[in-house]
Chains A and B, each alone.
Chain A
Amino acid sequence: MTAPLYGLVLAGGRSRRMGRDKATLEFGGRTQLERAFDLLAALTSRSFVSVRQDQKDDPLRARFAQIVDLAGAPEGPAGGIMSAQQAHPGVAWLVVACDLPLLDAPALQHLIARRDPSRSATAYRSSHDGLPEPLCAIWEPSSAAPLAAALAAGGNCPRKFLLQSDTLLIDQLRPESLDNVNTPAELAALGTGAPSATAAARELRVQYFALLREQAGLRDEAVQTRAATPRDLYAELSARHGFSLTPEHLKVAVNAEFSEWNRPLVAGDTVVFIPPVAGG
């Protein structure tokens, strides 16, 4: 049986090279932490921010559901993942670092679609060195006990852990999607930041039915958006309206006909997200 998928944003790093807290850096009007959290929240049933004990009252981090590192957990991403696994046993974790400004919903959706719950983890293969990317990966419950054992034995590197585990590695849709920023120069090189800024915003119409209509408090709305596909659009609207349904529960229609989730959207399209039906 496939374990339910929760989201975990790792935001406990010391950001030594950046010289300031990477979680608070802004792209397109949102901090990196908010952006990463919204991506996960749209695709998982619950999401949390992983923090160190001394960060939990930090004003930005205090706005999110948190998983605080267990006392005695080694500082670093592996300790954060272990703390989440022990807080919610039996759950798989979609783990994402907060400093991946080019990460987008299609990249996460692709990872989820390729997930193999019978493996220890499903991870992207680094486009730089071919090794697993532990900080954009799905960690299955079966990895919890071996990870705790590895940490107890002093092995703090999550990448090495995935290399030595039964990890399914998949290729990235866009080789740059997991490039992170560690220095102010790298951040500046990204220019205005969000990759979606390259697509022009245009107006789409969205109609809501049933549970989504009630949660949005709207029957329809005109949306100015850069979302390229229905999948991107749902992630954006879900973050705005707090929808409880994730895309795996939904179908989508464009212009009153069923559509693929990755169909390119154009100005004037009418999009309807279809909750589980119950006629008869």
Chain B
Amino acid sequence: MSAFRFSHSPIDTAPLRAELVDTHCGGFTAFEGWVRDHNEGQKVTRLEYEAFEALGVREGERIIEEARKRFGVTQLLCVHRLGSLGLTDIAVWVGAAAAHRDEAFRACRYVIDEVKHRVPIWKKEHYVSGDSGWVNCERCAAHAGDHGHEAGHAHHHHDHG
């Protein structure tokens, strides 16, 4: 099975960890991204994730292959959740096992950082206020109708690797 996957149902981490178990490995680390209750000053009630899955799996596999080459780690896996998520749900899981802990930590960090910037996944936040918004898109969009944003123009620094 691919080392990068999307899941439309809640992520069960135990079987994922089990896939990485290897007699050559002396260290295992995992990163879990959770849905939190706030972002940029707004109270968040739930999230929706959407992906361009065909390209997303390809790009995710490329990231994992890069991490394998860069850190010499063979046991890597990343699963990203799609659909509607509530607070504390796992949005993304990255696991890395290696001979020594340093490679495992570095490979895990590399995969989550690159996935956030490169894989075509979008996050819509729903807020306590009843509003909702696509993260990293709305400031660009708001700009079109509100020239009060001119001075900052910070929306060019969004996550587009």
Contacts and interface: CB of A to CB of B under 8 A. Distances in A.
Contact residues of B: prevailing secondary structure: mixed
Contacts of B33: 280
B125 to A, nearest CB: 9
Nearest to A91: B150
B135 interface: yes
Size bracket of the A interface: 20 to 34
Interface stretch (B7-15, B16-24, B99-107, B138-146): B138-146
B153 A2 contact: yes
A253 B51 CA distance: 13
A41 to B, nearest CB: 9
A275 B119 CA distance: 11
A213 B51 CA distance: 12
Contact of B55 (A3, A210, A245, A253): A253
Contact of B52 (A3, A207, A211, A249): A207
B50 interface: yes
Nearest to A251: B160
Nearest to A44: B144
A271 to B, nearest CB: 12
Given A209-B50, A210-B137, A253-B55, A277 B150 contact: no
Nearest to B150: A4
A262 to B, nearest CB: 18
Interface of B: 33, 49-52, 54-55, 58-59, 80, 91-92, 112, 115-124, 134-138, 140-141, 143-145, 147, 150-151, 153, 155-156, 158-160
Interface of A: 1-4, 45-46, 88, 90-91, 207, 209-211, 213, 244-246, 248-249, 251, 253, 256-258, 272, 274-280
